[in-house]
Every structure is written in C-alpha cells, then in structure tokens.
C-alpha cells in the first residue's frame, strides 16, 4: 500500500480521530495507558479538544485515516524543551507501508520546528515491531519501568526511550 499523505489533524477530524483511536485501544489494549471503555465514554467535544491541544498527525489515504500519532509537549517552564510521542497506532492494512515511519518523522519534524531538544516515549517491551520502529528513528533506551501497565492480573513493562534532536 502506498499513496498515503501525512497531515496534522484539526477540529474537523475529531470524529475520524475518535474512530481510529478507539480501534487502537480495542485491538491493542496493552499498548496504551488508557482503555477503550474510558475513551468510548468521552464526548465528541473532548476529541475536538484533544486534536487542538496535542498536535496529532495522521497517515491518510482516500479520506481514511490509516494511522496516527501525537506529540504532547511538557507544560512546566523547566520541562518545555521536551515532548512525548503518544497515541501511536497504525491500522493493520497500513502496516509495512511506511506509514509508521512517516508518522514518527512527522512528530520529530514538528518537535524540531517547536524548538524542542528531545522526544520521549514509552513502549511495552513485548511490542517488537514498535521497538524496531523507534530504534530505526534513533530512539535510545534509557530505562525500563517494570509493571507500568496492568490489564487484569497481567503486568506489562514499559521500555522508556529518548531521541535527542
């Protein structure tokens, strides 16, 4: 699959954003700190607020969002030089197409344009394709948070990574 474009989402994209976000939470609950149930209960206005407050990029083809990623900038005066890559998800039909790579590059480009000097992320240690993706883009491991996420009685460790710009 080729022919996708990468673009920043705006308020008019909130419904499409909600759809793909909920799909990601439903298919891969271990990959996100939030849950399908919690986000399905959010109002449409909350999804508008999210795409306005957190720069969110999407891979899109023929009007369909294939993947998304956000960049949450730290708000404190002493931490505003860093951002965190969040809410990364690529639909199964777009995996292997280069969409994930293009989304990560969009976040890094945006971070540079905003004057950030580093982008951080957390990825579960079992998510080998995601770990390889971030490795390709220069994200280095700086720690592991044991049991960072828990689903039922199953714990997942988060690998903490940073990419200096």
The model's confidence at residue 74, banded by pLDDT at 50, 70 and 90, is: confident
Domain with 122, as residue range(s), is: 5-164
Q: 121, 155 in Cβ contact below 8 A?
A: no
* Residue carrying the six token digits 């714990």: 155
Asked if residues 32 and 80 have their Cβ atoms less than 8 Å apart, the reply is: no
Q: How far is CA 143 from CA 36, 81, 137, 146, in A?
A: 27, 20, 18, 10
Could you report the per-residue pLDDT of 29-64, keeping only the tens digit for each? 999 999 999 999 999 999 999 999 999 999 999 999
Task: Give the pLDDT confidence of 78-108 residue by residue, as tens digits.
Answer: 989 999 999 999 999 999 999 999 999 999 9
Q: Comparing C-alpha atoms, which of 39, 135, 128 is closest to residue 87?
A: 39
**119-165 per-position pLDDT tens digit:** 999 999 999 999 999 999 999 999 999 999 999 999 999 999 999 99
CATH number at residue 41: 3.40.630.30
Which pLDDT belongs to residue 76? Answer: 87
Q: Report the domain count for the chain.
A: 1
Put the strands of the sheet holding 5-8 in their side by side order: 5-8, 56-61, 64-73, 82-90, 118-124, 154-164, 140-151
Which pair of structure tokens corresponds to residue 24? 């990601």
Rounded to two decimals, the pTM is 0.94
Specify whether the CB–CB gap between 57 and 8 falls below 8 A.
yes
Give yes or no for residue 3 having a pLDDT over 90: no
């Amino acid at each position: 699959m080729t022919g996708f474009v990468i673009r920043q989402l705006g308020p008019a994209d909130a419904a499409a954003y909600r759809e793909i976000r909920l799909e990601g939470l439903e298919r891969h609950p271990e990959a996100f700190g939030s849950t399908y149930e919690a986000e399905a209960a959010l109002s449409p206005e909350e999804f508008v607020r999210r795409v306005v407050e957190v720069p969110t990029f999407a891979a899109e083809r023929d009007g369909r969002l294939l993947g998304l990623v956000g960049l949450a900038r730290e708000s404190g005066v002493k931490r505003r030089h860093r951002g965190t890559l969040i809410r990364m998800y690529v639909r199964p039909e777009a995996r292997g197409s280069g969409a994930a790579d293009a989304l990560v590059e969009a976040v890094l480009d945006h971070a540079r344009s905003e004057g950030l000097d580093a982008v951080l992320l957390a990825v579960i240690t079992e998510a080998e394709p995601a770990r390889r993706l971030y490795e390709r883009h220069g994200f280095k491991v700086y720690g592991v948070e044991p049991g960072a996420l828990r689903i039922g009685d199953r714990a997942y460790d988060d690998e903490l990574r940073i990419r200096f710009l």
